Amino acid sequence: MDVFDVIVVGAGPAGEVAAGRVAASGLSTVIVENELAGGECSYWACMPSKALLRPVDLAGEVGRVTGLRLGGPIDAAAVLARRDAVVSHYDDAGQARWLDSAGVTLVRGTGRLAGPRRVEVTTADGGTRTLVANHAVLLATGSRPVIPPVAGLAAARPWTNREVTGVRAVPDRIVVIGGGVVACEMAQAMRGLGAREVTMLVRGGELLGRTEPFAGEMVARSLADQGIDIRMHESAEKVERPEPGGEVTVRLASGGTVTADEILVAAGRRAATDDLGLASVGLPESGPIEVDESMRASGVADGWLYAIGDVNGLALLTHMGKYQARVAADVVAARARGEADDRPGMRDRADRAGAPQVVFTDPQVCAVGRTEAQARAEGFDVRVVEYDMEQVAGGYLLGDGYRGKAKAVVDERRRVLLGVTFVAPGAAELLHAATIAVTSEATLDDLWHAVPAYPTVSEVWLRLLEAYGL
Ligand SMILES: Cc1cc2nc3c(=O)[nH]c(=O)nc-3n(C[C@H](O)[C@H](O)[C@H](O)COP(=O)(O)OP(=O)(O)OC[C@H]3O[C@@H](n4cnc5c(N)ncnc54)[C@H](O)[C@@H]3O)c2cc1C
Ligand SMILES: NC(=O)c1ccc[n+]([C@@H]2O[C@H](COP(=O)([O-])OP(=O)(O)OC[C@H]3O[C@@H](n4cnc5c(N)ncnc54)[C@H](O)[C@@H]3O)[C@@H](O)[C@H]2O)c1
């Protein structure tokens, strides 16, 4: 039996940040990982997907600037080689070195709760190691893709985020189940890197369902212009792949079929809580782990258990998992020292206000805070202002085909922003200004004095305020 002050289970972005910060506070810390330190984000999600999208995005930009022309199609093999470098060739030695330098002990194996403050680790050789925590256990086991119960789908060995981000040869034809973030980003990547036929099967009537409706509409128009076949109100009824690795045929609910070389499932993710021993501490065995604003698992006596990142289901985003990790780590360290654990940085505000997110399609969808529909549902006195971003000099200068739209959701009572959405090419870096405005609850009258430089796209802020009436 090994005793540490703090045990972290899962070395994805959330777990690593928590472990590093807890160790820096002087507590002895162990982190348990059963695949690669760095987690889904580093090897099969954020990093490789953005490496695949970056050249596609840039090619779109070049296409909008008069006088520039791409020398030919994108060199997919070179892009895949760079992707391999971005994922460190699926080797986590660098992350392991970082954990070591941060004073965190890395234990390789599968962790499972075995009662209060106790984690049993099954190691690769089948052995078991018992870890006991003096102060806290932080669960950071992430999430796994959902495979819908469609006849023949699982047997057809569909691609998930892992295979599509790790693609070795871009398929000629690919069918995508889903209309969310992964589906949109990866449909665009596959098409941009040379897939001839990309077909998206979207169960509902819109893409990117959690964003402002105009965002999904603009992305749908753009993906269609890029040659992607988007089938709304369509779903797979049966999937057949007679030869392993061969052609796949999808029978559609509306009748008809789609035949492709690969099928990608991008139908959401579920918390990785299976076989985590949650029942041994009185929690439901599956589903996301419910937490309070200090990331403590609800319903666990003595408050020694925390859940951060995708596993708590609050926001399936790397930056939010890392933020939750900082909150939890500081709370754990303060409680261990017997100090006050309610200082301002020790409570989650950002998830409740609406997490910032960028969808890296062309155009990019950048949003923070509440959508108009969410704000109205929560009973705010809402007023909305919108502006077309190509009307801003900085936008117009970016290219002839540049189109964008901004929307601000205002709380009329306090004259503060509840949410902001920008949909435009290359808008990702605009988002943080909106995040600062929404999080700090700056009034519109304060924002009036934040003068955007000319001619930048940020002048859209001024236009939104003028449209509001300032
Ligand atoms: C294709 C794709 C693209 C994405 N792009 C973005 C993006 O651009 N920006 C963004 O913010 N988010 C993005 N996300 C979401 C992001 O990947 C996740 O929010 C993030 O990885 C969650 O971090 P985490 O630490 O909670 O979990 P994970 O990254 O899933 O890490 C969990 C770790 O725990 C380990 N583990 C699990 N169970 C056990 C166990 N019992 N014992 C030991 N170890 C265990 C796993 O092996 C893993 O290493 C993307 C997701 C996908 C699928
Ligand atoms: N750029 C980014 O920040 C980024 C990129 C990729 C993923 N992510 C995160 O990863 C998470 C997972 O992404 P995702 O795209 O898998 O999930 P999602 O929740 O964004 O989208 C899921 C899609 O699948 C559809 N769907 C659900 N069940 C279905 C079924 N049974 N049959 C057919 N369609 C079904 C939904 O209607 C939706 O269109 C997201 O929550 C997102 O936050 C973030």
Confidence band for 316, pLDDT divided at 50, 70 and 90: very high
Mutate-to-test residue for ligand 1 from 9, 17, 41, highest number of ligand atoms within 8 A of CB: 41
**pLDDT, mean of residues 309-319:** 98
Ligand 1 pocket, residue 419 CB under 6 Å = no
Which of 325, 350, 375 corresponds to the end of one domain? 350
Do 15 and 127 lie in a common domain?
Answer: yes
Name the domain boundary from 224, 240, 267: 267
Distance 317 CA to ligand 1 centre (A): 8
What pLDDT, on the 0 to 100 scale, is given for residue 304? 98
* Residues 276, 134 share a domain: yes
Ligand closest to 230 (CA) is: 2
Protein residue whose Cα sits closest to atom 26 of ligand 2: 267
CB-based contacts of 22, cutoff 8 Å, min separation 6? 5, 6, 8, 29, 138, 329, 332, 333
Q: Where are the alpha helices (DSSP H) in 284-365?
A: 318-337, 350-353
Q: Is the CB of 108 within 6 Å of ligand 1?
A: no
User: What's the 222 CA to ligand 2 centre distance in angstroms?
Assistant: 19
Judge contact between 134 and 150, C-beta under 8 A: no
Establish if 358 belongs to a structural domain: no
Asked if residue 231 has its Cβ within 6 Å of ligand 2, the reply is no
> Which residue is closest in CA terms to ligand 2's atom 27?
267
Ligand 1 pocket member 410 (CB < 6 A): no
Q: How many CB atoms lie within 10 A of CB 246?
A: 9
- Domain assignment present for 49: no
Please name every residue paired with 139 in a beta bridge, in sequence order, or none if there are none. 9, 307
**From the CB of 82, is ligand 1 less than 6 Å away?**
no
268 Cα: distance to centroid of ligand 2 (angstroms): 4
Mean pLDDT of 67-79: 94
The answer as to whether 48 is a domain residue is no
> 148: Cβ below 6 Å to ligand 2?
yes
Number of domains in the chain: 3
Give the pairing type, strands 110-113 and 128-139: unpaired
**ipTM exceeds 0.95, yes or no:** yes
CA of 335 relative to ligand 2 center, distance in Å: 37
Q: Say yes or no: CB of residue 273 within 6 Å of ligand 1.
A: no
Two structure tokens written together for 209? 């369902």
Claim to verify: residue 166 and residue 291 sit in the same structural domain: no
- HEC profile for 232-300? ECCCEEEEECCCCCCCEEEEECCCCEEEECEEEECCCEEECCCCCCHHHHCCCCCCCCCECCCCEECCC
Average pLDDT over residues 385-391: 98
Q: In terms of DSSP H, where are the helices of 354-401?
A: 372-377, 393-398
Contacts with 54 (C-beta within 8 Å, 6 or more apart), sequence order: none
Share of the chain above pLDDT 90, in %: 97
Residues 260 and 381 in one domain: no
Map 85-125 to HEC letters: HHCHHHCCHHHHHHHHHCCEEEEECEEEECCCCEEEEECCC
Average pLDDT over residues 32-61: 97
pLDDT digits (tens, 9 = 90+) for 321-347: 999 999 999 999 999 999 999 998 999
Which of ligand 2's atoms lies nearest the C-alpha of 183?
Answer: 15
Identify whether residues 140 and 280 lie together within a single domain.
yes
- One-letter amino acid for residue 238 of the chain: K
Whole-angstrom distance, CA of residue 169 vs CA of residue 157: 17
Q: Using pLDDT thresholds of 50, 70 and 90, give the confidence band for residue 351.
A: very high
Distance, CA of 83 to CA of 50 (rounded, Å):
9
Q: For residue range 231-260, list pLDDT tens digits in order.
A: 999 999 999 999 999 999 999 999 999 999
Q: What is the pLDDT of residues 97-146, one digit of tens each?
A: 999 999 999 999 999 999 999 999 999 889 999 999 999 999 999 999 99
User: Residue 53 falls within a domain, yes or no?
Assistant: no
pLDDT digits over 88-111, tens only? Answer: 999 999 999 999 999 999 999 999
Q: Tokens at residue 85, please?
A: 């470098």
Ligand 1 in reach of 197 Cβ (< 6 A): no
Residues 427 and 345 in one domain: no
CATH number of residue 406's parent domain: 3.30.390.30
Note whether 219 and 305 are same-domain residues: no
pTM surpassing 0.80?
A: yes
Q: What is the pLDDT of residue 30?
A: 98
To which H or E segment does residue 366 belong? strand 364-369
Tokens linked to 187: 């449909």
- Same domain, residue pair 423 and 390: yes
CB of 147 closer than 8 Å to CB of 158 = yes
Is the distance from the beta carbon of residue 116 to the nearest atom of ligand 2 less than 6 Å? no
pLDDT at 124: 86
Residue 237: which CATH number? 3.50.50.60
Residue minimizing CA distance to atom 19 of ligand 1: 317
- pLDDT 10s digits, 12-29: 999 999 999 999 999 999
Distance CA 21, CA 321 (A): 14
Q: What is the pLDDT of residue 373?
A: 98
Those residues with Cβ within 8 angstroms of residue 319's Cβ, 6 or more apart along the chain or in another chain: 355, 356
**Strands 405-411 and 357-359, bridge-based pairing:** unpaired
Residues 263 and 340 in one domain: no
Residue 319 domain boundaries: 2-38+92-144+270-350
Does residue 6 lie within any of the structural domains? yes
- Provide the pLDDT for residue 94: 98
The reply to whether 47 falls in a domain is no
* Same domain membership, residue 6 and residue 140: yes
Residues 194, 258 within the same domain: yes
Residue 221 within a domain: yes
In a domain, 98, yes or no: yes
- 365: part of which helix (H) or strand (E)? strand 364-369
Q: How far is the CA of 347 from the centre of ligand 2 (A)?
A: 27
Asked if 324 contacts 12 with a C-beta cutoff of 8 angstroms, the reply is: no
pLDDT at 344: 87
Atom of ligand 1 nearest to the CA of 145: 53
Is the domain of 119 the same as that of 177? Answer: no
Q: Which domain-ending residue is among 267, 291, 318? A: 267
